[in-house]
Structure 1
Amino acid sequence: MQQSASNKQSTDKRSASDMLRITGVVLLVVALVLGGAAYQFAFTAGIPLAICFGIVGVAVVVLSVFVARRAEQRERFAAFLASELGADWDSSKLKARKYKDGVPLDVDFEYQKRQPDHDPEWRRQLTEAVRRRMHVDEIKATWKARKPRVRMVGLMTIISEIDKARQVAIDRIRLVLQPLFRNVELAVDVPSWQSEDSLHPNRIELAYGVTTVDGSDLWVRRVEATAGLKLGGRWRAQFDPTKDRGFLEPRPVLPTNLPHPGVKLYDGSDPSLPKPSPKAPCLYYGHDENGKPRGWVIGKKSTMPHMLIIGPTGGGKTTVLRSLILGAVAQGIPVFAADPKMIELTPFYGFPGCYIASTPDEIATMIEAMEALMMERYRAIKANPHIADTLSPVLFILDELLIARQVLKRLHAQRKLRGTPRWFEDIQALAALARSAQINVVIGVQRPDASLFDDGSRDNFRQRLALMRVSPQGSEMLWGPGQRFVGVDLPMVQGRAMASPDGDTPIEMQTFWVADPITASGQDRETIEAFRELGQRNFADYKPPVDVSPFLNDMPDIDPASLPTGGDDIDLGTADDIQDAQSSLANLDTQDVKAEQIAAGDQIMLDEDETEPVEVVDVEEDEFDEDAVRLTVRTASGEEYRSLGRDHYVSRVLFPDAA
């Protein structure tokens, strides 16, 4: 019925235009007849009449064209409103006035009673749609909900060129992000810009209709990635699904190389940092996005007694451990560190307050000593609970846990012992119980591994740090269920990490660079020496809580100038050495893991009869089978693809360098 009324009104408009046009033509014909009669019959009165009829006829024809054009323009605007209000909207209720460039700037219309005109968001969306259609700066809307009817008047304001350019930028942002919201209307506002004349937003606020996509972490990452691709820079997105609101903010640019600030972090000279507290010492290891030093707070009341550090070769894990060691030494906290690779932490041999274990026997002895110290302190606390307040913290670092396990397995076999090596149980006991004994454990591994968390020990390591990118599977193993995209898009910068200094939400950080204590030079050497002098004062009269005689090693007296500087100075091995290495491939140390635990960069044995490992180039979810993963591996003949069930076990090489 409403549609027919609308069509009838359009027909009436066209009929009026046609009638005017016919009338004008008739008047022009009459003018021609009168003019001809006056000329032929000397009818002098006919000339003025012909002129009058001609002028009126032309005016009526012009008026008919104007009426037809206005009718067409009104129909186009009515069609636009029908697209917003629905096909059943009655366009005959539209009154349009004050046209500019073929678009009415003053409209008055009724809408269906079923429309949610009590909803401010619905009103805002309709008003914004009309504003864009009128090409004006703002709309003055007068709502009469009882009728229901609304009048909208388009207003033009005087704006500067920069404001015009900013409006264009806002419109482009909306066009860029709108497809991500699918069929939901999106409104974009930029409340602040990076400077007075800048076209770069400082904050982008988003308002949208009801949708469920804003609850997906993957979708949020897509919004951030799209903003970075089309708007430039790196963005952080946050959404509140309960209010259908969100915002985007530029991520601050982190430095790619951040030298350690030195002892000023611990001597109280920096007013921006909390004063050092013996009861809650903080081991700083990097800066957050705001340039603020962040670290790991330990002590009796700490809710994060242990720390887990994950970093691939070259990612910066060693420098993070060096930062922790220097922070502990600066505050008089002894450091017991096990270095199964015998190259990462051994430069701290002889450093004040540091005791380094590198051989299998030393590592086993240090683990036993830490477990014995823990039990001794527990017995003392049981006898006198007040002793717990007097215990001084101890930092125990176990780097390269998987390698340490393999080394300890071999030692267990060499000693001809049976059962599971006791050191494995000691490590689990320290992770679970060492907090009250004021023994803070740091575990370092190259990649997330489900075998590290099978016993639920992840929850004991609430202070976590993951260097460089991790896979979605690794992210979920490290940060918990549902956290599949934390750190998967980190820049490939050494020392860049996702960390949880507060123990909850991981944040992006740049960790400090700390040079090797042996080879450091220039400012790096001055930093190391300043910590050494501070450590010598802190540990001048120190008595270790355990027997440290197995770990007393003097720092090698090495002249940095004598170290090799290039490939010509290093013995690369003979052909015989290479042949011997190849013949020993079958004896590589491996670990059976599920296919879903494999990460890019791993070396694996694809088949049981293989004697050489292959490198994993990429790991993806199999798009045809949700219970499988798709591996891209590099073999001697090129890259190959393998689809394996998630629970399928594959032999992974524990020592890739040996392969």
Structure 2
Amino acid sequence: MATRVARPPARPSSAPVAPLGVLPRRQVTGIFPALVVLAAAVVLTGVNMQARFTDAIAWVWVAAVVIAAVSVASGIRTYQKQSRLDPGIEAVLPSLGAQRPSRDLVRAVKWTRGWVGVPRKVTIRYASHVDDRDVRFVDQIVTSFSRRIGEEYRVLKHVPRRCLIVLELAPPTTPVSREQQRAEQVAKLLLGESAKVEVTTDPESNDVRKMKVKHDMGPRLAIPARRMQIEKVISSMLPGRWRAHWDLEGDEVTFEIRPPMPDMVLHEPAPSTKQLTHAEYKAFKIPIGVDEDGSVQTWQPSVSPHMLVIGGTGSGKTSFQHTVLTHLAQARWRVWVLDGKRIEFAGFRTWPNVELVAARVEHQVRMLHAAHELMEQRYTQLEEGTARLEDFEPLALIIDEYATFKARVQRWYKTVKPKGAPTQAPVLELLSDLARLARSAKIHMLLGIQRPDVEFLGGEMRDNFGARLSLGRLSPQGAMMMWDSPAIGVALPRNKRGRGVTLSAESLPVEVQTFYTPDPAKLDKSD
């Protein structure tokens, strides 16, 4: 049986092996040619002293010194250029699949002007076994090279067949302001570090005016509450008031500063000289106000039969109701008014088509009974076939300060309630019937209240008012009642009379400046 002899281990090579990523030391290349030129000048001078053959030996030395100086300077410049490029080469070598560090893999084809300058165009070659299909491969090379050189580079071309990448120096960019940096930082904190943020600034003040963000958080942002939270954080952490336009299908969102809005927009309706036809009634719209983009938002009673408007004292609620009344009366609608404060609609008592302005509680109760009786009468006519919907004139009920009216009715009802009667005033049930059924009888309501408390507006009552307007800044609880969101309408500017939120034609809440109509009773008749 043959005996197996073990071989001794191989001796380590005496030549040191540089670790990958560390290039061998660079030498200055112009010194040796300079010495050769000077040595040639010395030899030529010696020969000329033995056998004088020229008188221009001084010019020979001048030329030799110039050539030597240029050679040394060129070598020093080449050395400094390579020293400038070496950090970038060392940064990308681990990604190139090289066995040993080599300057041949990364070459600077062009340089910027100056004694040394920076590489303007660079060619990079990598090993054929490197997986260059990964999108992060090229990005990692560009990022590493740019970081070590200290300049921004971009990919000029990538030729996978030749395992070649060509980089070029990116054009200079304008300096990024602190405000822009903060805007990008906030956007990435909210939408992920991978989000791509495109910031637009004001050309004069350099303030951030708009941000377009491409993100990859689509499924999470499909939840409306999440989007509302992001909008609220943006407005809290960045100066100004912001709004957002979400493109959920394209995974993009655009944040922009809300455009300025006028503090007052006068209402100028055009009086009608003819009776409103049924076709005109179906297309009839009442202007609410001007939104942030300059579009007029409207209320169309034939689509949303009743409107709810809320707003505290001084918010512009009564002025808006004056606008609606004026528009309806001049369009030849029949108008009945329940004046909750007793004096806010006194100037409209003599207006054409304003048939009732009820100020006292017993008159207000009688008015609602009459409206309910009219609704029942019209339903009977429609049921019996003695009339069609087109035969009826539209009637508008404007009910101001519903909470005050309800409290007054309850107190009044205690004084007139007969024995055995229900504890709650029946007129309140009639009002609920009107909210549910009056649309089909061409009767429409505008109900005003200071705050949408559940105590005054239950779920069914509120849901019957499809058109809505909130004036002034809401509390989170009031915003939930009105808009099913604790963030909508809570950040409106203070002391802006007539500023509020309403529903657009797409049923989206939009900020508006409502039309202003002065109270006829408070106008100076001497002007």
- TM-score, structure 2 length as denominator? 0.73
Could you tell me which amino acid in structure 2 is paired with residue 143 of structure 1? H
For 2:422, the equivalent position in structure 1 comes to 418
Q: Please state if 1:409 is matched with 2:416.
A: no
| 2-structure distance, mates of 1:6, 1:426 | 95
| 1-structure distance, mates of 2:141, 2:217 | 16
| 1-structure distance, mates of 2:470, 2:18 | 65
Q: Shift of residue 250 of structure 1?
A: 5.5
The question of whether the paired residues in 1 share the 8 Å contact of 2:231 and 2:242 is answered with no
Counterpart of 1:254 in 2: which secondary structure? coil
Counterpart of 2:280 in 1: which secondary structure? coil
For 1:327, the equivalent position in structure 2 comes to 327
Q: Shift of residue 495 of structure 1?
A: 0.8
For residues 31-64 of structure 1, the C-alpha deviation after alignment (integer angstroms, 9 at most, x for no partner) is: 89x99xx99xx999xx999999998987776566
Q: How does 1:278-297 map to 2 (within 5 A)?
A: 278-297=281-300
Q: Shift of residue 448 of structure 1?
A: 2.8
| 2-structure distance, mates of 1:126, 1:308 | 59
Q: Please state if 1:465 is matched with 2:458.
A: no
The question of whether the paired residues in 1 share the 8 Å contact of 2:269 and 2:326 is answered with no
The question of whether the paired residues in 2 share the 8 Å contact of 1:203 and 1:247 is answered with no
The question of whether the paired residues in 2 share the 8 Å contact of 1:304 and 1:503 is answered with no
Residue 223 to residue 144, structure 1, CA distance change in 2 (3 Å)? farther
For 1:440, the equivalent position in structure 2 comes to 444
Q: Shift of residue 405 of structure 1?
A: 1.6
Q: Please state if 1:374 is matched with 2:375.
A: yes
The question of whether the paired residues in 2 share the 8 Å contact of 1:308 and 1:443 is answered with yes
Residue 26 to residue 283, structure 1, CA distance change in 2 (3 Å)? closer
For 2:109, the equivalent position in structure 1 comes to 97
Q: How does 1:202-221 map to 2 (within 5 A)?
A: 204=210, 206-211=212-217, 216-221=227-232
For 2:55, the equivalent position in structure 1 comes to none
Could you tell me which amino acid in structure 2 is paired with residue 436 of structure 1? S
| 2-structure distance, mates of 1:502, 1:454 | 25
The question of whether the paired residues in 2 share the 8 Å contact of 1:282 and 1:296 is answered with yes
Could you tell me which amino acid in structure 1 is paired with residue 489 of structure 2? G
Select which of 471, 489, 505 maps to 1:502.
505
Q: Shift of residue 243 of structure 1?
A: 1.9
Residue 385 to residue 253, structure 1, CA distance change in 2 (3 Å)? farther
| 2-structure distance, mates of 1:134, 1:311 | 57
| 2-structure distance, mates of 1:330, 1:413 | 39
For 2:342, the equivalent position in structure 1 comes to 342
The question of whether the paired residues in 1 share the 8 Å contact of 2:395 and 2:444 is answered with yes
| 2-structure distance, mates of 1:494, 1:396 | 24
For 1:649, the equivalent position in structure 2 comes to none
Residue 465 to residue 64, structure 1, CA distance change in 2 (3 Å)? same
For 1:153, the equivalent position in structure 2 comes to 168
Q: Shift of residue 290 of structure 1?
A: 4.5
Q: Please state if 1:106 is matched with 2:121.
A: yes
Residue 68 to residue 226, structure 1, CA distance change in 2 (3 Å)? farther
| 1-structure distance, mates of 2:110, 2:213 | 31
For residues 324-356 of structure 1, the C-alpha deviation after alignment (integer angstroms, 9 at most, x for no partner) is: 111111111111111222222233233322211
Could you tell me which amino acid in structure 1 is paired with residue 474 of structure 2? V
Which moved further from structure 2: 239-248 or 456-465?
A: 239-248
Q: How does 1:216-235 map to 2 (within 5 A)?
A: 216-223=227-234, 228-229=239-240, 235=242
Q: Please state if 1:238 is matched with 2:245.
A: yes
| 1-structure distance, mates of 2:63, 2:22 | 32
Q: Count residues with an aligned counterpart.
A: 471
For 2:6, the equivalent position in structure 1 comes to none
| 1-structure distance, mates of 2:514, 2:280 | 22
Q: How does 1:171-182 map to 2 (within 5 A)?
A: 175-179=181-185, 180-182=187-189
Q: Percent identity?
A: 23
Residue 360 to residue 77, structure 1, CA distance change in 2 (3 Å)? farther
For residues 401-441 of structure 1, the C-alpha deviation after alignment (integer angstroms, 9 at most, x for no partner) is: 22222112112222234333212221211111111111101
Bigger CA radius of gyration? 2
Residue 509 to residue 52, structure 1, CA distance change in 2 (3 Å)? same
| 2-structure distance, mates of 1:490, 1:221 | 12
Residue 81 to residue 401, structure 1, CA distance change in 2 (3 Å)? farther
Counterpart of 2:337 in 1: which secondary structure? strand
For 1:489, the equivalent position in structure 2 comes to 491
Counterpart of 1:8 in 2: which secondary structure? coil
Listed as ranges, the gaps of 5+ residues in structure 1 are 157-163, 269-275, 527-659
For 1:186, the equivalent position in structure 2 comes to 196
Could you tell me which amino acid in structure 2 is paired with residue 74 of structure 1? L
For 1:303, the equivalent position in structure 2 comes to 303
Q: Shift of residue 508 of structure 1?
A: 2.0
| 2-structure distance, mates of 1:173, 1:81 | 33
| 2-structure distance, mates of 1:337, 1:125 | 75
Counterpart of 2:409 in 1: which secondary structure? helix
Higher relative contact order (CA 8 A, sep 6+): 2
For residues 281-337 of structure 1, the C-alpha deviation after alignment (integer angstroms, 9 at most, x for no partner) is: 222232333444443222xxx220000101110000001100111111111111111
The question of whether the paired residues in 1 share the 8 Å contact of 2:21 and 2:91 is answered with no
Q: How does 1:4-403 map to 2 (within 5 A)?
A: 8-12=20-24, 15-17=25-27, 20=28, 24=31, 65-77=76-88, 94-100=106-112, 102-109=117-124, 113=131, 116-117=134-135, 134=151, 141-145=156-160, 149-154=164-169, 168=174, 175-179=181-185, 180-182=187-189, 183-188=193-198, 204=210, 206-211=212-217, 216-223=227-234, 228-229=239-240, 235-248=242-255, 251-263=258-270, 277-298=280-301, 302-354=302-354, 355-384=356-385, 387-403=388-404
Counterpart of 1:106 in 2: which secondary structure? strand
Listed as ranges, the gaps of 5+ residues in structure 2 are 1-16, 52-57
Counterpart of 2:441 in 1: which secondary structure? coil
| 1-structure distance, mates of 2:514, 2:252 | 33
| 2-structure distance, mates of 1:517, 1:125 | 75
Counterpart of 2:26 in 1: which secondary structure? helix
The question of whether the paired residues in 2 share the 8 Å contact of 1:306 and 1:440 is answered with yes
Alignment RMSD: 4.7
| 2-structure distance, mates of 1:427, 1:345 | 21
